[in-house]
Amino acid sequence: MTNSAGKSQKSDVAQLRTAIPRAKQGDSPCAACQVRHLAVCSALEDSELNLLDKIVRFVELEAGDSVFDEGEPALNVYNLTAGTVKLYKLLPDGRRQVTGFLSAGDFLGLAASDDYIFSAESVTPASLCKFSRADLDLLLEQAPQLERRLLGMARYELAEAQDQMLLLGRKTAKERIASFLLMLSDRAVCRGEADNPVLIPMSRNDIGDYLGLTTETVSRTLTRLRTGGVISLETDRKITLVERETLQDISEGF
Amino acid sequence: MTNSAGKSQKSDVAQLRTAIPRAKQGDSPCAACQVRHLAVCSALEDSELNLLDKIVRFVELEAGDSVFDEGEPALNVYNLTAGTVKLYKLLPDGRRQVTGFLSAGDFLGLAASDDYIFSAESVTPASLCKFSRADLDLLLEQAPQLERRLLGMARYELAEAQDQMLLLGRKTAKERIASFLLMLSDRAVCRGEADNPVLIPMSRNDIGDYLGLTTETVSRTLTRLRTGGVISLETDRKITLVERETLQDISEGF
DNA sequence: CGATACATTGAGGTTTATCAATTTGTGTGG
DNA sequence: CCACACAAATTGATAAACCTCAATGTATCG
């Protein structure tokens, strides 16, 4: 689940590469953050950013690295600033449910209990801002408006979770795939990227574990949508939405 | 979805019956609330309860009444003080996903958007405290600790939603039913009731729509658990957990 | 260029859904 | 209190969707 020593050596290289633009000249790295407007941090005034700078640590991950595992003490929280991270839960026999994919600006680790209740692992190379929960709690005292921002984010996540329950409980494979592609497209727009073609950072297996399907069903369903002319596969990981309206109708169950 | 005029007449009777103990002698009904320790209201000091009393309205529902429907402007929030309420989303062809069952102490209507994103309907006769969102927002100014409480509740709901995603995406019918029975038992304990036998306030159809199954599969699966000696059906709506450990193992996928 | 992981395709099986009939439970009115 | 009507639950037979296992094709990366 976590990485071997051989792989994590490369991570150091990545750290060197990105450390320079992130904290140049020793002035506030948070003030220079490209995704601040997307993150919890948007709740802080420019003058308060130094509070963040004091407690933040930067983490660089390569694809497949573990951020934390379910059941560990929830000591840290994270802001994802680049890349994609997946959250998942496991059953004893290895069945896996991916409960979400995170991208730039998303917050991670806000657990209800003392331990993490899911595992988090990078899907692509990723950059995170790491805060200890103790530091975060102190910060919340100084900047109570952060609490409102966190509540807003939690509500949004709840809304997404309810949509996902509808998908998992009642939608067909075709409807699930259509919903998934549209979600990726919409989220790219939120990050200021193009809505089409859709870039798919995760494997068919990860998609299956997110949608409650097998790899094979994901693949077959994509093939059928392609054959039907609704989408077009540029590569495995790059899909053009040819008939967005049709896809929308399929995703909503019409 | 809502009730006919004929049925809602009885609701008036229910209102009379319970109005007396709830607001006796005109002093603070919130101070006398039996489920305050379970609800958001526990975040308020006794001295602050009069703030609630000023803005609360009491609502009594009979089984099957609508609280609000998906897509309506989210003008109010509610605290459930007695009974069971189900939340659900619909697809255009009538497929339904119940996203949660609420019981005494649960909070309802905290939407991320301006409109409700799910419908809410009582499963049994129910009592609710109703607040306008505008009033709640004002109250949050005066009692900011409420925000922390709301955040805690949202986190808890998120944790439950993730468990439900694992259930819907990866568990078998048998595992889903076992998880469901244990959840009902655990929640009864939270409310200070007996953990066994389990009282089932909702229909097989509602259970199916919650677990992503059909009525028939729910029924057959209960029959098999009964035949296997793991549970015992006292009546349709009252089930004894004969082998709780076994049920626990089944629910976790062993 | 070769090795390896990932994706696709095919054949066949399993679980759960669907459709239909029967039984049980509930509430009403005689 | 009983009989009736209606809704809810159970059971059975069949079908469909998706999964499993296996083989083949195709990216990707040293």
Phi, psi of B215 (to 5 degrees): -50, -45
Nucleotide nearest to B173 (CA to C1'): C16
The closest of A106, A120, A119, A21 to A61, measured between CA atoms, is A120
First to last CA, chain A: 40
Tell me the pLDDT tens digit for each residue of A123-141.
999 999 999 999 999 999 8
**Any B CB within 8 A of A8 CB:** no
Tell me the pLDDT tens digit for each residue of B30-78.
999 999 999 999 999 988 898 899 999 999 999 999 999 999 999 999 9
Q: Which residues of A touch B250 (CB under 8 A)?
A: none
| Chain A: residue whose CA lies nearest to B163 | A89
Q: Residue type for A238, please?
A: K
Instruction: Give exposure, A170-187, as e/b (b: 16+ Cβ within 10 Å).
Output: bbebbbbbbbbbbbbbeb
Instruction: Find the mean pLDDT for residues B105-113.
Output: 89
Instruction: Find the mean pLDDT for residues B81-94.
Output: 97
Label residue A11 by pLDDT band (50, 70, 90): very low
Are the C-beta atoms of residues A161 and B163 closer than 8 Å to each other?
Answer: no
Angle at B39 between CA B50 and CA B161, to 5 degrees: 145
* Alpha-carbon dihedral A99, A88, A213, A188, rounded to 10 degrees: 50
Tell me the pLDDT tens digit for each residue of B70-80.
999 999 999 99
Higher pLDDT, A112 or A203: A203
Q: Which residues of A touch B113 (CB under 8 A)?
A: 159
Q: For strand C, is any atom closer than 7 Å to the CB of A171? A: no
- B79, two tokens: 């605290």
Are the C-beta atoms of residues B162 and A158 closer than 8 Å to each other?
Answer: no
pLDDT averaged over every residue in chain B: 90
Instruction: Find the mean pLDDT for residues A85-113.
Output: 95
**B94 alpha-carbon distance from chain centroid:** 22
Q: Which of A7-21, A53-67, A165-179, A203-217 is predicted least confidently? A: A7-21
Cα A138 to Cα A154: distance, rounded to the nearest angstrom: 20
Instruction: Find the mean pLDDT for residues B189-198.
Output: 95
Are the C-beta atoms of residues A251 and A182 closer than 8 Å to each other?
Answer: yes
Label residue A26 by pLDDT band (50, 70, 90): low
pLDDT in the model for residue B144 = 87
H or E stretch covering B234: strand B231-235
Instruction: Give exposure, A17-44, as e/b (b: 16+ Cβ within 10 Å).
Output: ebeeebeeeeeebbeebebbebbbbebb
Label residue B26 by pLDDT band (50, 70, 90): low
Report whether pLDDT(B6) > 90.
Answer: no
Q: Strand D neighbours with CB under 7 A?
A: A 172-174, 212-214, 216-217, 235-237; B 203-205, 215-216, 218-220, 222-223, 233, 236-237
pLDDT in the model for residue A137 = 92
Are the C-beta atoms of residues B189 and B195 closer than 8 Å to each other?
Answer: yes
SS3 label, residue A38? helix
pLDDT in the model for residue B237 = 96
Going from the N-terminus, what domains does chain A have, and what CATH number goes with each?
5-160 (2.60.120.10), 171-251 (1.10.10.10)
Report whether pLDDT(A18) > 70.
Answer: no
Label residue B109 by pLDDT band (50, 70, 90): confident
Q: Are A165 and B165 in contact (CB < 8 Å)?
A: yes
Label residue B148 by pLDDT band (50, 70, 90): very high
pLDDT in the model for residue B24 = 46
Work out the minimum CA distance from B184 to partner chain A, whole angstroms.
Answer: 19
Q: Residue type for B174, please?
A: K
SS3 label, residue A91? coil
Phi, psi of A119 (to 5 degrees): -95, 155
Instruction: Find the mean pLDDT for residues A219-223.
Output: 98
Are the C-beta atoms of residues A183 and A241 closer than 8 Å to each other?
Answer: no
Q: Which residues of A touch B252 (CB under 8 A)?
A: 91-92
SS3 label, residue A251? helix
Are the C-beta atoms of residues A180 and A207 closer than 8 Å to each other?
Answer: yes
Report whether pLDDT(A16) > 80.
Answer: no
